[in-house]
Amino acid sequence: MSELILHNYYRSSTSYRVRIALEMKGLSYDYVPHHLRHGEHLEPAYLAVNPQGLVPALILGDGTLLTQSLAIIEFLDETKPEPPLLPKDPAGRA
């Protein structure tokens, strides 16, 4: 089992962003799919993990839950700086 667990849906553009970032960083993660069209993100088991019922959701090794793709990507870039995903200067990130 990996230190990172990514709850996502393969057709979700926000989930896709996070998967790209994880792959570019070379980070291993467990892939947990939730089919949105079938309502799997609203099942009690997933709502216990992420009460928002949204994807993506990244669970860290210590149990911390991260949501929102851009926040997850920023977290990954700050905690695993190589290779960088975002420019260092604010204007470049804007």
Q: What is this structure's pTM?
A: 0.90
Tell me the average pLDDT of the chain: 94
pLDDT digits (tens, 9 = 90+) for 30-46: 999 999 999 999 999 99
The domains found in the chain, sorted by start residue, are: 5-93 (3.40.30.10)
Phi, psi of 25 (to 5 degrees): -80, -10
Contacts of 28 (CB under 8 A, 6+ apart): 2, 3, 4
Is-contact 81 26, C-beta < 8 A?
A: no
**Residue 1: predicted pLDDT:** 61
| Other beta carbons within 10 Å of 35 | 11
Please report the pLDDT score of residue 39 as a whole number.
92
Q: Which residue has the higher pLDDT, 89 or 76?
A: 76
Would you state the pLDDT for residue 25? 97
